[in-house]
Chain A
Amino acid sequence: MTWWAVAFTRALWIRALPLGVFLSGCSPSDPTVIFEYAPYEGEAFPNKRTPLTIPEGGAAFVTNSYSDTVSVLAIATGDILGTYPVGRDPVSLDGPHHIAVSPSGDAVYIGLSYPVVAAAGPHASHGSSTRSGYAQKLDGGDMHVVGQVRVDYNPGDIVLSEDGKRLVTSHFDLKLALANPTNLEAARATVAVIDPSQMFLTGSPSATRIKTCVLPHGMALSRPDGATLYVSCYGEDSVTIVDLNAGQVSKRIPLGAAAGDFGDPTYGPYSLTLSPSGALLAVGSTVSNDVRFIETSQGELNSDLTLPMLGSPYFAAFSADEKQIVVPLQSPDAVAIFDLATKTELARRDFSGDECPLPHQVARDKSGDYLLVCEGDHEGPGKLLWLNSTSLDVKRSVEVEVYPDAVTLLYKEAQ
């Protein structure tokens, strides 16, 4: 088929046939045809999405990194309320990584990390799929995309201030770190600070970038306004405090005397969790396999409180009274509860087989039970588990999609 046949409608093509006659026989002042098109009077592109209604008992939002979806589940029943495609690219993996929900539930925020997926093919090993990440804003009413802002490579965590006015992404930029093995400042990646009210489909203002540290990942914001940002710095063995009002790093807190040279971490702090009161910050380190704590009032490490772990700790959750912490572990896969006063393990559940491969993040339900994300094998479905708050017995297990990574909870009264 030639492009002529592609470009013209049949009707117009037929009209064009006597062209030679016109060119030879008519003057330039001859009349032209003007088409007047009637407007379409119906509803064009009607919204067919099923509205998302948060049930009594609340909902759990889970990102599925390798399915490009967000699963929403009823906390009380485990029913899947919906599985929503997200992202920008209809073919490639956008990699929805972590997730935050606005206090009212009217907006959901995800970080798109564009993972380099190991695949066969001559270009798979060339690392050519490095792409800028995005923070994306979804309408909480039906999860359609309403805004997006470009951020840096490999967004790690995404956090929203309690007042809903600050959204921050960290960038776990391994490529940047590897490219600058002897230049600390050059190896440091940014956090991106976004005004959620200024996230549009196109034309969003750029995020404010603050150079933070090497391989920043887990984050927590002070309450209620998020003026202070805490960042776990995997590549620097520290937690960095960022004054977001000033737009600069205000303090770096080494995680111990044995902190390694940059690029060779002794601790490898990866995850952060702020306690309900905001007084304690739990830092999960995946190299030293322990959880350490920072007293936020002093901005200092509590050197008396270190919890050694059996495996690598990921995103933990405090009990409501802050006396206990529940920690998901990988290699070996398990979840454990610790008493902070006695520094003892109160209960542990070891996972075998496909019960919960690669536990990644735990969230505390209002009932006190814990919801645990299990990544799975990254090829088939992962899971969300409901765990008894004291025994850690599995009360419910629900399959979600491929490579679930993060969970956040929303309750109806928030809406």
Chain B
Amino acid sequence: MKRHHVRQCGLLVTSLLVATSSAWIGCSNETAGPIVEQKTAVEHGEVIYNDSSIAGTELNTYSCATCHGETTPDGPIKMGGSLAGATKRTSYWAGQEVDLLRAVNACLYYFMLKDKAWTADDEEARALYAYLEFISQDAPGDALPFTVVTDIVDLPPGDKTRGQKAYQRACATCHGAAHTGAMRLVERAPILPEQTLSEHPLGEYTADERRLVFVEKVRYGAFISYTGQMPPFSLEHLSDDDMADILEYLDLYNVTSK
């Protein structure tokens, strides 16, 4: 039986809230000592799924839920797709991984900056598996398509209004509001587009290349010629049209003077 008192980092605040919630119960009942609640492994897994502190580093603010889940028409784009069905799938990461645990460890390492890989015996890994198995019960087990765009080409200008919405759905969660970074999830995520443009100055890059830097980073994420902790957006999760709309919203078809 795992006694789960307080998790560090992200869940520290959670635990504080839970503790104070209990305190309210305690006030009413005038009961001393801790209240023990029995939870299932599935419930434990759900907590882990939503907990950024599993990475064990304050540098990370992602949880599984940041990138995984159903993408709704107006909600954030979940570039990792839904994990319902994950325990039934025979491959992950566009076929590059055939072991679910290795696929999970890839997320932990590349995006959540966790250095030590989970094993199938680790309590947290087992609990997460319990949760994934639970949400997979009624889901299909087909591997999700995930087309990584490696050939970076310029795109015709898109639509600014659509781009604003696409930005909110695809970029704002991590990068915050355009031009200010307000409410960004990841402190080190650059403010778009200004910070990225300043890192790719005219002279060193042509105007077209400065625009393509955005396409490249979105498509490559933390991979290929890039580092960082950004997941790549596959074609299935962000079309070239959506990409062009975002570029237009960020005014990146006119970057010569910035």
Contacts and interface: CB of A to CB of B under 8 A. Distances in A.
B73 to A, nearest CB: 15
A7 B51 contact: yes
Nearest to A94: B96
Contacts of B95: 85
B254 interface: no
A304 interface: no
B90 A18 contact: no
A39 B10 CA distance: 23
A45 B129 CA distance: 7
Interface in A1-38: 1-3, 6-9, 12, 15-16, 18-19, 21-23, 25-26, 29-38
Given A26-B24, A40-B126, A92-B223, A33 B93 contact: no
Contact of B26 (A15, A31, A85, A144): A31
A128 B38 contact: no
Given A15-B18, A26-B20, A40-B127, A129 B225 contact: yes
A7 B10 CA distance: 7
Contact of B151 (A6, A19, A38, A119): A119
A122 B197 CA distance: 13
Contacts of A179: none
A38 B152 contact: no
Contacts of B39: 35-38
B35 A37 contact: no
A146 B26 CA distance: 51
Nearest to B42: A40
A24 B194 CA distance: 44
A318 to B, nearest CB: 37
A68 B11 CA distance: 38
Interface residues of A, number: 58
A40 B41 contact: yes
A31 to B, nearest CB: 4
Nearest to B234: A91
Contacts of A35: 3-5, 36-37, 39, 44
B23 A31 contact: yes
Contact of A121 (B34, B45, B152): B152
B70 interface: no
A325 B98 CA distance: 40
Interface string B16-44: 01111111111100011111111111011
Given A19-B20, A85-B95, A129-B224, A45 B120 contact: yes
A17 to B, nearest CB: 8
A122 B27 CA distance: 62
A22 B4 contact: no
B47 interface: yes
B148 A33 contact: no
B66 A90 contact: no
B185 interface: yes
B43 A37 contact: yes
B43 A85 contact: no
A296 to B, nearest CB: 41
B24 A21 contact: yes
A121 B206 CA distance: 12
B246 interface: no
Contact of B4 (A21, A30, A36): A36
Contacts of A44: 120, 125-126, 129-130
B76 A1 contact: yes
Contacts of B126: 39-40, 44
A48 B90 contact: yes
B130 A42 contact: yes
A248 to B, nearest CB: 35
A47 to B, nearest CB: 8
B175 to A, nearest CB: 13
A122 B221 contact: no
A1 B21 CA distance: 24
Nearest to A126: B225
A91 B93 contact: yes
Interface of B: 1-5, 10-11, 13-14, 17-27, 31-41, 43-47, 50-52, 61, 63, 65-66, 75-76, 90-103, 106, 110, 116-117, 120, 123, 125-127, 129-130, 133, 148, 150-153, 173, 183, 185, 200, 205, 209-210, 212-213, 215-216, 220-221, 223-226, 232
21 contacts: A2-B183, A7-B10, A7-B52, A8-B14, A22-B23, A26-B23, A31-B32, A31-B35, A32-B18, A32-B35, A33-B36, A35-B5, A39-B1, A44-B125, A45-B101, A45-B125, A48-B98, A85-B96, A90-B94, A90-B103, A91-B232
Given A12-B17, A22-B24, A31-B23, 12 more contacts: A8-B50, A16-B17, A30-B26, A35-B5, A37-B39, A38-B44, A45-B99, A49-B98, A85-B91, A121-B225, A124-B152, A145-B102
Q: Which 6 A-B pairs have the closest CB atoms?
A: A121-B152, A91-B223, A30-B23, A37-B44, A22-B20, A90-B93
